[in-house]
Chains A and B, each alone.
Chain A
Amino acid sequence: MEWLNTHLLTALTFLPLAWAVAGMAIPGRFSKHWTLAGSLLLFAVSLKLYYGFDPHGAEFQFAESVEWIPGLGVNYLIGMDGISLWLILLTTFLMPIVVLSSYNGVEDREKEYYTLLMALQTGMIGAFVSLDSFLFYVFWEAMLIPMYFLIGIWGGKDRIYATMKFFIFTMVGSLLMLVAIFFLAYQHKMQFGSFSTALVELYKVRLDGSGFLSTQSLLFLAFALAFAIKVPLFPLHTWLPDAHVQAPTAGSVILAGVLLKMGGYGFIRFAFPLFPQAVVLYQPTFLVLGSVAIVYGAWVAMVQPDMKKLVAYSSVSHMGYVIIGLFSLNAIGSTGAVYQMLNHGISTPALFLMVGMLYERRHTKEIKEYGGITKVMPLFAVAFMIATLSSVALPGTNGFIGEFLILLGAWKANPGLTVLAATGVIFGAVYMLWMIQRVMFGPLTNEANKKLKDLSLREIVVLAPLMVAIFWMGVAPNFFFRKMETSITRLVDRTAKAGAVAVALKGER
């Protein structure tokens, strides 16, 4: 047990993988229970992380450092701060729900399915804890493989096109990031004599950030491309709807719940502190892209015939908020952005789970197939309504806190754009309520819908924690802010100050 205290993060990262490998020996029928137990155990362990983390302590806590590849100056350096704490908790919180939700959703090759889910978890947690950019890249890529198989094998009709597109899209971005990491390590050698890809070391590297195409800006763009694809930011988002529509329920829940946060996390952990001047230089561009993403995502979501695609485009819109929050470069905006990432990680999975439940009953995701199912599934309707309210950012739910802070932060940065972004509030209501009206309300016309059963106990247990989280995060956000605020402000202020100073210098030069 003593080892567990000192190496908590390593245990947290590799426990799921070990658990999955151990699960190999179990016959297929029991693997789902085994995986559920594993994910619950992991959640318990991650709670230990919450209590151990002291927001006012060192910048990175539970840090561990082991030499991995001395030749390249890469070492196994992991640690966590306020931001990664909550993202890890989100991952371990969602996983049991995902496993429980795919209990009777998956029939063939169950063992591989659950092994891949646990491997995916290792990849995700690893990415959130790694403080060495090379290690981050390794987990970032390793995460793709399980998701690739999850979508590819258990996906919908043309799953192969979707999964290939998903893989190649992310791969292109991340490879350029890797080149940028190497260049940074090389600069570190030039300036400090030794190779190192550790994040804290790379902070010290001074790069010429004068123009739009200066080295620092190019490096920033390489990082930003990788994270923008992952967010997904407006022009690079077309992989998301395909991936979501074809992915199995569990796949799209994890994809929406955690994988999209990787982009945002990447920005605030890597891109901001490493390239402050470039961030300040490119702030207006990303604010514009974020606002456009919000409106564009909402408008296109409105006209989607397929429920999953609608929710997918709503993710594009929500993550647009995260981008403007991050790029407002002030404490309120960034904290709102990180909080919005958590909200999105609660409300969108809830929506996907419910669409999945409908799919399990009627094997179709087309909106026109449904209508007036509140009569036969009232409890489902209540749950769906709560998830919609959270996604529409009604005060009292978690969505409002995130969006309110983001818009407030963005208003300080650029009032004009914030008006455009704020219209997202309206369009968000339009597409969600229109979908609810066509699916939930209205007369019960379709014969098949008459026989639909309401939520089973298992399904209630799946949705309950999410519903509670929606209200808890809406009413008592301070519980969450307390732990993450110091980390965010530390990162964002450093970026804003360094960036502003440089820009000012350039200005008067």
Chain B
Amino acid sequence: MEALKIVDPSLLGLTSEQYSSLGPYLWVVGGSLLAMIFAVVPFIPARISVVCIAIASLIGAVVSAAHQITADRTDLFAGMMVSDGYSAFFNILFLATAALSILASVRYLEKQKLEYPEYYVLMLFSTFGMMLMASTLDLISIFIALEIMSLSAYVLVGFRRNDRRSNEAAMKYFILGAAASAILLYGTALLYGSTGSFLITDILARVTTKPELMTPAYHLGGWLVIVGFLFKVAAVPFHMWMPDVYEGAPTPITGFMTTGIKAASFAAFVRVFISLGYGKDIEAAIGGRLHDVLWVIALITMFFGNVIALTQTNLKRMLAYSSIANTGYLLVGMIAAPHSEAGYAPILMYLATYTVMNLGAFSILSVLSGKGDTNLNLHDLSGLARRHPWLSFAFAVFLFSMAGIPPTAGFASKYYLFYSAIQAGEIWLVVLAVLCSVIGVYYYLRVIVYMYMRENEGLEKFAVPALAAFSIAMMVAMTLQIGILPSKMIAVTKKVVAKL
């Protein structure tokens, strides 16, 4: 047997155009490293320098990511990583989430006496993990990116070290996260065993050319990977961890998690779901049963997400369950995507608007939360409109957007999603989804009732920090802009998804 020619020269070097496509990732990693260094520099107060570096690197990354959207697709690292419209779209989303979360948490950490620079470094690492999840095409790399994101998240959740609730939340998240990652990994192993490759593009190619590769082990592996992702996005049977973690974690982190981590998980989920080969004719996948199972999961996710949220008085837990409900709507999008003309575009749009809405809401909550992040209850909000008209107006816009009332982005994206779901023939699922969202309308409006219509014995007056006010205002503007003129956003998502 002669020696195998392993070394392939083309893999060694990186062409200049590949470098530019790696721009965003390099910015973020560079930023985090620099931040770590400045954290320990004696003279400059870490508080300011680390934040500035973090924001600067995020902005640099956004700029370079913006070029990628229009640039055509370039493959990197022997096909393991790709820089196409899809990944650029999500990169911008994650970078924006990170930037806005940092803006919201600067004053928050000061109030909570938690001003450690590690916070921002870990935030950058987690963002890096997310960006990779959206752009890697190889199962192992996706797993590693997932781990980068999750490890930083576990630490960030447990960041308030001497608070029992924060530790408890972090530990719960860690253990269940680890178990779920193991399940995902085992699925990858089974897929590898059936198709002989990690690259999802290869898997798709091999499965479509030789359908007999779809052995029971393949389906088993595929379902385990799907379950791994369902856990990450907190679909109902696997959602139990989310409310506790959201309640225990510091508020900006909850905001960061509910938007960033969910979006990243969905980004990877979409790529993997397409490559599993079930997309062509979802009704017939795994003997027609995959469609039914996903249908049921989507329904119970929407139903229980909304119904339990109805009973919550703690704001963070309520938004956690509303996030579960939104996962339900996204799952409806997933089921409908293969057969609808708009494909996965509605999911992307929904994720974008969902991120803007929730981030805005959580920034407001971080501004509202008092010392020690006491759990924020509904009646703390009563009469807020009288003392902070603009803040409560912003919160009302976000709530109306989550409830899906017309002039807001939430409405545009939710009904673009249902619109494409109807085209895919899922009429009864959409009717049920619509009825669940009516339950949602109730508890979103209940918050507005407390703010506007109750006498004000709630929180005492407090100063709204400038940074947070700026980010909230920007998000309100985005929500209304997308709500009134959604066509630009729809066009972008459609173009991005076309090359998927």
Contact = CB atoms under 8 A, between A and B. Distances in A.
A–B: direct contact at CB < 8 Å:
yes
B362 interface: no
A411 B351 CA distance: 56
Contact of B452 (A137, A138, A149, A175): A149
A183 B407 contact: no
Nearest to A184: B422
Given A152-B452, A168-B438, A178-B415, A71 B423 contact: no
Nearest to A138: B406
A404 interface: no
A467 interface: no
Interface in A436-488: none
A68 B445 contact: no
Interface in B416-462: 416, 418-419, 422-423, 427, 430-431, 434-435, 437-438, 441-442, 445-446, 449, 452-453
B342 A71 contact: yes
Interface in B387-435: 400, 405-407, 411-412, 415-416, 418-419, 422-423, 427, 430-431, 434-435
B490 interface: yes
A172 interface: yes
Contacts of A168: 438, 441-442
A185 B419 contact: yes
A27 interface: no
A396 B4 CA distance: 104
A28 to B, nearest CB: 12
Contacts of A171: 438, 441
B423 A186 contact: yes
B431 A179 contact: yes
A141 interface: yes
B445 A167 contact: yes
A159 interface: yes
A141 B438 contact: no
Contacts of A178: 415, 418, 434
A139 B406 CA distance: 8
B487 interface: yes
A69 B437 CA distance: 23
A71 B416 contact: yes
B418 A179 contact: yes
Contacts of B442: 164, 168
B427 A179 contact: yes
Contacts of B438: 168, 171-172, 175
A168 B430 CA distance: 18
Given A148-B445, A182-B418, A71 B405 contact: no
Given A69-B486, A71-B342, A176-B431, A167 B419 contact: no
Given A68-B487, A171-B438, A182 B419 contact: yes
A72 interface: yes
A179 B422 contact: yes
A167 B486 CA distance: 25
Given A176-B431, A178-B434, A160 B449 contact: yes
Interface in A319-334: none
Contacts of B423: 186, 189
Nearest to A161: B449
Interface string B459-498: 0000000000000000000000000011100110010000
Nearest to B437: A175
A142 B453 contact: no
Interface residues of B, number: 35
Contacts of B452: 149, 152-153
Contacts of B487: 67-71
Given A71-B490, A71-B494, A176-B434, A182 B422 contact: yes
A119 B258 CA distance: 33
Interface in A143-159: 144-145, 148-149, 152-153, 159
B409 to A, nearest CB: 13
Nearest to B412: A69
A139 B407 CA distance: 9
A163 to B, nearest CB: 8
A168 B412 CA distance: 19
Nearest to B493: A71
A172 B435 contact: yes
Interface centre among A69, A70, A139, A160 (most CB of B within 10 A): A69
A455 B470 CA distance: 51
A144 to B, nearest CB: 7
Nearest to A149: B452
Interface string A177-197: 011001101100100000000
B342 A142 contact: no
Given A138-B406, A148-B445, A164-B445, 8 more contacts: A68-B485, A71-B345, A71-B491, A71-B494, A167-B441, A167-B445, A179-B427, A182-B430
18 contacts: A67-B487, A69-B412, A69-B487, A70-B491, A72-B490, A142-B406, A145-B400, A160-B453, A163-B453, A164-B449, A172-B435, A175-B437, A178-B415, A179-B422, A185-B419, A186-B423, A189-B341, A189-B423
Interface of B: 341-342, 345, 400, 405-407, 411-412, 415-416, 418-419, 422-423, 427, 430-431, 434-435, 437-438, 441-442, 445-446, 449, 452-453, 485-487, 490-491, 494
The 7 closest A-B pairs by CB, nearest first: A71-B490, A138-B406, A141-B406, A175-B434, A182-B422, A152-B453, A69-B487
